[in-house]
């Protein structure tokens, strides 16, 4: 079962009052209903969503729609479940603000459909049941989307989402418009809004794990980069010391530089901090990291002068 399907199954287990049911059905019918002179045909690929819609229509309007099963003629093998509504057709469409008093289709719902936050929540639940999806955070990047058929309606849904500060965006696709959210925190907030609390727990568990894993990877990368930096720096210092030994001999260095050179050759993989601690311990003469670095720079200057002499 996909993560999106789990969320939809959690939505339909919510408790709804009659006004919230109307808001939800308005959103779902707006996207997944075909309307002609005789009937409303509402379709879904999810049998549990079909049962939910059936029960809510029966609860509100005291009759049972007819259920028709069709083979889905897209590339997926699942079936299409269709609710056919003939009785009280116009009454239902007016209740759901899908037609006006003259019987003409309305692209956007009337304000009473989304008059307060609870009704907005219900409308977003219906929108998600009809056309929403969220990537499983274990398998892919964070992504929530609604695929909608009309620009004006996409703007309306985008505004509803941003009423809750979800930072949604709209993009024009080949077949319609996508309203989407990319931020993990905002997707989690959306799941809370539609009261998919089990999905929130799952999403947050995965998000915390991924964030911790990314943090660990960043620390490992930094540690690896530091190791490589230490090795490269040590190799350059050893190269300078060997050049001095070959061209003039380390005995000609002043005592402090000679001591540092010998310790660097002996402990080639040590960092400056480690090397300063080793010298301080073995020689009983405390030397700081900055002092050690200063002496190694002097050795480098001598090696550079030897290189210039050699080239000239």
Residues 226 and 185 in one domain: no
Query: Six-digit token pair at 85?
Result: 């509504």
Q: What pLDDT, on a 0 to 100 scale, did the predictor assign at position 12?
A: 93
* Angle at the Cα of 72 from the Cα atoms of 67 and 78, rounded to 5 degrees: 90
Choose the final residue of a domain: 195, 225, 252.
Answer: 195
Q: What pLDDT, on a 0 to 100 scale, did the predictor assign at position 75?
A: 54
Residues 84 and 184 in one domain: yes
* Angle at the Cα of 177 from the Cα atoms of 94 and 107, rounded to 5 degrees: 20
- CA–CA gap between residue 167 and residue 76 (Å, rounded): 32
Q: What pLDDT, on a 0 to 100 scale, did the predictor assign at position 32?
A: 92
pLDDT tens-digit readout, 68-88: 888 766 555 578 899 999 888
pLDDT tens-digit readout, 184-242: 999 999 999 999 999 999 998 888 887 777 777 777 777 777 777 878 888 888 888 88
Q: Indicate the number of domains in the chain.
A: 2
CB atoms within 10 A of CB 214: 10
Tell whether 219 is covered by a domain. yes
Tell whether 201 is covered by a domain. no
Residues 187 and 89 in one domain: yes
Range of the domain at 25: 3-195
Tell whether 204 is covered by a domain. no
Residues 57 and 167 in one domain: yes
In whole angstroms, how far apart are CA 144 and each of 10, 48, 81?
17, 21, 24
Residues 246 and 105 in one domain: no
Tell whether 30 is covered by a domain. yes
- CA–CA gap between residue 32 and residue 130 (Å, rounded): 6
Choose the final residue of a domain: 167, 195, 223.
Answer: 195
Here the CATH number for the domain that contains residue 50 is 3.10.28.10
Alpha helix segments (H runs only) across the chain: 3-11, 18-32, 47-61, 89-95, 117-131, 151-162, 184-193, 197-247, 255-266, 272-283, 289-311
Residues 18 and 62 in one domain: yes
Choose the final residue of a domain: 136, 162, 195.
Answer: 195
Tell whether 128 is covered by a domain. yes
Angle between helices 18-32 and 117-131 in degrees, nearest 10: 30
């Amino acid at each position: 079962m996909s993560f999106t399907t789990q969320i939809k199954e959690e939505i339909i287990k919510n408790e709804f009052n009659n006004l919230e049911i109307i808001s939800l059905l308005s959103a779902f019918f707006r996207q997944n209903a075909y309307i002609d002179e005789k009937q409303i045909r509402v379709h879904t690929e999810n049998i549990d969503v079909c049962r939910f819609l059936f029960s809510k229509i029966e609860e509100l309007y005291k009759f049972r729609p007819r259920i028709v099963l069709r083979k889905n003629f897209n590339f997926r093998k699942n079936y299409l479940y269709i609710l056919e509504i003939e009785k009280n057709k116009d009454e239902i469409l007016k209740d759901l603000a899908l037609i006006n008093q003259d019987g003409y289709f309305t692209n956007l719902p009337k304000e009473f459909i989304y008059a307060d936050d609870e009704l907005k929540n219900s409308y977003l639940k219906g929108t998600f049941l009809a056309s929403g999806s969220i990537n499983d955070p274990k398998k892919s990047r964070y992504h929530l989307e609604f695929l909608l058929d009309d620009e004006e309606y996409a703007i309306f849904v985008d505004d509803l989402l941003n009423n809750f500060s979800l930072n949604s965006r709209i993009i024009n696709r080949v077949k319609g418009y996508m309203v989407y959210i990319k931020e993990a925190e905002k997707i989690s907030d959306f799941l809370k809004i539609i009261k998919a609390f089990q999905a929130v727990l799952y999403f947050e568990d995965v998000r915390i794990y991924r964030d911790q894993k990314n943090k660990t990877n960043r620390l490992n990368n930094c540690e690896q980069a530091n190791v490589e930096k230490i090795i490269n720096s040590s190799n350059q210092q050893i190269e300078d010391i060997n050049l001095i030994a070959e061209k003039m001999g380390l005995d000609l260095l002043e005592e402090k530089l000679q001591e540092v050179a010998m310790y660097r050759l002996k402990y080639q993989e040590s960092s400056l901090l480690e090397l300063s601690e080793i010298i301080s311990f073995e020689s009983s003469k405390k030397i700081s990291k900055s002092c050690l670095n200063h002496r190694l720079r002097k050795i480098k200057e001598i090696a550079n002068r030897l290189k210039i002499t050699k080239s000239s």
